[in-house]
Amino acid sequence: MRLQKKDHNQSPIIHNPRKRLLAVLLLAAFSFAAVLGKMFAVMVVQSGDLQAKAVTQWMRDVPTEAARGRILDRNGTVLADTATRYNIYVRPNATGSKQDVAKLLAEVFWYEYNDILAKISVHTSEVTVARGADKEQLDALMESGLSGIYYGEDNLRYYPFGDFMTQTLGFTGFDGEGQTGLEAYYDKYLAGTDGMILTDTDLVGREIEGGGSYYIPAVKGMDVVTTLDATIQRIAEGALRTAEARFQPKSAACVVMNYETGEILALAEYPSFDLNDVPRDDLETLFGTSKSSVVSTVYEPGSTFKILTAAAALDAGKVGVTDRYYCSGTRVVDGQKIRCWKAKGHGSISFAEGVEQSCNCVFMDSALAMGTELFYDYLDAFGLRAKTGVDITGETSGIFIPEQSVKSVDLARIGFGQAVAVTPIGMLAAAASVVNGGRLVTPHLLSGITDGYSGETVSGSFPDRGTTVSAATSETMRVLLENVVKNGSGKSAYVPGYRIGGKTGTAQKYENGHIAQGKYISSFLGFSFEEEAPFAVLLLVDEPQGYMYYGSLVAAPLVGDVFENIFAYLGVSPEFTGEEAEVVGTPFSLADYTGMSVQQARAKLAALGLHVETDGEGSTVKGQIPAAGTVVDGRNTVLLFT
């Protein structure tokens, strides 16, 4: 081994203790700061989350569902309410005797003893054993004194009138959330905020002796006060039951709206179902009848659309009330022959008479006189190519041929309500503007939201959507529409002693792009011009069975009944005039007109003050409705079969 010689001249290594001390102090300070930072994060920043996690570990919570707010009509009648029910839980580790608990549950809920014993014997912290228990069942459990049984409040949504306003009110799901109708639209107000019951437990879920229980109360939902009137709704639904019995239709609907404010007083639809027994296991029925067809489906309006054509043409100055037209029974437009409903034509007729008699030729000429651009400007003003903003789920808008694609033949058909599709609520709102001075109101169902604790009510706000026609045009249209009911196709809607206007509609239906033979939508859109009842009523009967499918025969009499019952309910007194006595006349027995020529029968019936419709293009009467011997008066319409 070679030894290295030590160099006595090499300088010794000198260690500086101050630097080492500084490094130690810095390390200590950093560590202390890290600890303080962690403590701050745990105790301040994360304290809420960590405390919540801790609570979930040493406490068990049982939810208490908030009671859903009520839905009321305008007079305070409860349309939808909530009853308290109870969900029952068992904590297996907290039970003294599982056999005793199982026996009690079997007695109270009619369970099989062995099944329920097996259920509460599983190794879990908590098991649900019953939902929707009533107060009597809960009392039986609590009075037993057995440990390990707990409960949470639940809510059962129920509807006092059952099959009533089905599509309008809507229903809730199993979780209590609104799914359709007003229940869905105003769910955030109706829902409320859930609460809970907290109980101190040990690691395995057993209640700690001497531990505490904490109750966080649920906050009840707000009440929704609607514009609906339960009595007027019954009247509307009664009209639909009559339609069902007389005509066995595919469906039917009736809407009553205040045309000055847009408040909907009734919205009835057939078919429907009991809201307390929602057909969840029958999806076809559920999907087919849950949504309101009044807002979510479109239809070809037919002659009720003539209300809008007449108002637009008058307002634009393209026609005058006394202008004369000639109806030969057809018009040829773009080489296509378009028929008037009266095959032999109305002959020479004024614009006012054309409105009374619903002459298609008059309205074709009116639309063509306006031109596509101007007519479509009015359609937009009437709000028909947009949604109305009605406060119910599922609203759609009307369907129109694109303006740039409209031909003259299309415009002519649109003039009398063909080649367009509108929603019933859109048609109702547009027509309301024609008689209320030209204001396009927003149809709505909400009157206000009421806080269940303070009782304070916040009113809904539904401003007008614009102006359609002038006040002068509106006044002229009121006169013309009143004459339709006094002298024209709407006589069946006449109620003696009251001012009523309106328009019938008989629209063809289409299937796969072609006219469906024998399928019609019969309708009547009527207006009360009584100051105490400024109401519009739209009634539609989809595919009435049998020969009676004209709106004047099917829908108009039902609307007359609706108005008559509303006037009686509101105490609106009739005011009779000599002219009205002539309209009604003395009741008489209808003669037999079969075998006569149509021309002869028409003349005899006109002399009696009766409105006449014909079915067929023959020249001889083969049958009639009402039948010979039926007692009628001047309000009746007679259908002659040729």
The residues annotated with a catalytic role in the active site are 303
Other Cβ atoms less than 10 A from the Cβ of 139: the count is 12
Distance between CA 197 and CA 91 in Å, rounded?
Answer: 14
The amino acid at residue 241 is: R
Burial class (CB in 10 A: 0-12, 13-18, 19+), 209: exposed
How far lies 596's CA from each of 587, 631, 636, in Å?
23, 20, 20
Distance between CA 247 and CA 522 in Å, rounded?
Answer: 11
How far lies 190's CA from each of 67, 72, 157, in Å?
9, 12, 11
Lookup: tokens for 144: 């037993």
Distance between CA 186 and CA 222 in Å, rounded?
Answer: 10
Distance between CA 451 and CA 436 in Å, rounded?
Answer: 34
Residue 206: which residues within 8 A CB-CB, separation 6 or more?
Answer: 91, 93, 94
**Of the candidates 298, 301, 242, the residue with the CA atom closest to the CA atom of residue 270:** 242
Q: Are the beta carbons of 108 and 141 closer than 8 angstroms? A: yes
Distance between CA 22 and CA 28 in Å, rounded?
Answer: 10
**Of the candidates 46, 145, 167, the residue with the CA atom closest to the CA atom of residue 95:** 145
Distance between CA 605 and CA 590 in Å, rounded?
Answer: 9
Backbone angles phi, psi at 584, to 5 degrees: -80, -50
The DSSP string of 477-506 is HHHHHHHHHHHSTTGGG--TTS-EEEEEEE
Residue 126: which residues within 8 A CB-CB, separation 6 or more?
Answer: 60, 89, 90, 91, 150, 205
**Of the candidates 540, 508, 536, 509, the residue with the CA atom closest to the CA atom of residue 524:** 540
- The gap from C-alpha 190 to its chain's centroid, in whole angstroms, comes to 17
Beta strands 223-226; 71-72: pairing state: parallel
Radius of gyration of the chain (CA): 37
Distance between CA 97 and CA 89 in Å, rounded?
Answer: 15
3-state DSSP helix/strand/coil % of the chain, to nearest 5 = 35, 25, 40
Q: What does the DSSP 8-state code read for residue 597? A: B
Other Cβ atoms less than 10 A from the Cβ of 610: the count is 19
Alpha helices in 88-222 (DSSP H): 98-109, 113-120, 135-143, 166-169, 181-185, 187-190
